[in-house]
Amino acid sequence: MKKLLAVLAGSAAALVAGCGGGGGGTAQQLAGDSASASPLAAYIGTWQSACDHHDRQTLVIAFKSDGSGALELTPTGETYFKADCSGPMVATDSMNAKITGKPDGSADMLIKLADNAAATSLRVDKITSSAPAYTFQRTGTTVQHVLRDGKNNWCVAVDNGESCMQDDGMQAAQSVPGGLSLRGNDLYTVMLDKGAYVLDMHYVKK
């Protein structure tokens, strides 16, 4: 798992990533009719990243049920036995708190969508993502909680060794600026890094 909280923490070192979930109908009904008119309605649903050496990330986006128009984001990491994410899934990574995405306007931004590509103009719906104090957790029938280099880790066997996620215990509550941009069935999450918005994750509609 590379970025279990992509929209929230925006840092590979923080092990952040993304999403899974269902269609938008139920979520919009829970939030009320007013939410369906929101420009954020297009993001409702389940989004999935490409496989990245055993790992795939899913992000479920829904409207909060309080009618505020804010989003609720549920990221999940999936680890597969095979490096190409085929075969059985051996672990699921998640956090024990929901991420809230509060709308913060929109803007046109130049974002590099690949390391060696020229910047592309994206219309970004900015959100402030926040979560209360939380912990990461990894589950699976073969997951073990072990010490690696003197630190607690959740490890699971994969075809070329093992995949481990460090257990850092309780994490402090966070509130972080970021954004979402949609191009067809492609969802891009962006994060604020050193005063500029940069690409965080790329997902496709599941």
**pLDDT 10s digits, 54-73:** 999 999 999 999 988 999 99
Closest CA to 40 of 180, 164, 185: 180
pLDDT band at 9 (very low <50, low <70, confident <90, very high): very low
- State the Cα angle at 48 between 164 and 167, rounded to 5°: 25
For 130-179, write each residue's pLDDT tens digit.
999 999 899 999 999 999 999 999 999 999 899 999 998 998 998 889 99
Closest CA to 169 of 144, 157, 151: 151
Nearest-angstrom CA–CA distance, 117 and 150:
40
Residue pair 202/113 in contact by the 8 Å Cβ criterion: yes
Mean pLDDT of 11-27: 32
Residue keyed to tokens 């309780």: 170
Residues in the chain: 206
Is pLDDT of 126 > 50? yes
The model's pTM: 0.81
pLDDT (0 to 100) of residue 35:
52
pLDDT (0 to 100) of residue 22:
32
Closest CA to 3 of 100, 101, 85, 77: 77
Mean pLDDT of 192-198: 87
- With a pLDDT cut of 90, the percent of the chain lying above it is 59
pLDDT band at 38 (very low <50, low <70, confident <90, very high): confident
Mean pLDDT is lowest, of 43-47, 113-117, 164-168, 176-180, for 113-117
DSSP 12: G
Calculate the average pLDDT of the chain: 82
pLDDT (0 to 100) of residue 16:
34
